[in-house]
Amino acid sequence: MIDLACHIDGFIAAVAHTHVLQEGPVTGRAADVIAAANTAAEVALRLVRPGKKIVLMS
């Protein structure tokens, strides 16, 4: 996993990326888990808005 973060004027921004390292394509249940995690991250990102409370997104 690659995890980066920065602090600017008291605000924190963080991002992480997970990469599967194996030969050949990811299939079956592992592929389903990766797809579900990606979908959840995309949905969460689309909920983020300036001034919106984090409790409303979790």
Instruction: State pLDDT tens for residues 39-52.
Output: 998 998 898 888 88
pLDDT category of residue 57 using cuts at 50, 70 and 90: low
Of the pLDDT bands very low, low, confident and very high (cuts 50, 70, 90), residue 17 is confident
In this structure, the number of other CB atoms found within 10 A of the CB of residue 34 comes to: 13
Q: Has residue 27 got a pLDDT over 90?
A: yes
pLDDT attached to residue 1: 65
Question: Does residue 2 have a pLDDT over 90?
Answer: no
CA 16 – CA 45 distance, rounded (Å)? 13
Torsion of the alpha carbons at 26, 32, 36 and 37, rounded to the nearest 10: -40
pTM: 0.64
CB 12 within 8 A of CB 3: no
Count of residues making up the chain: 58
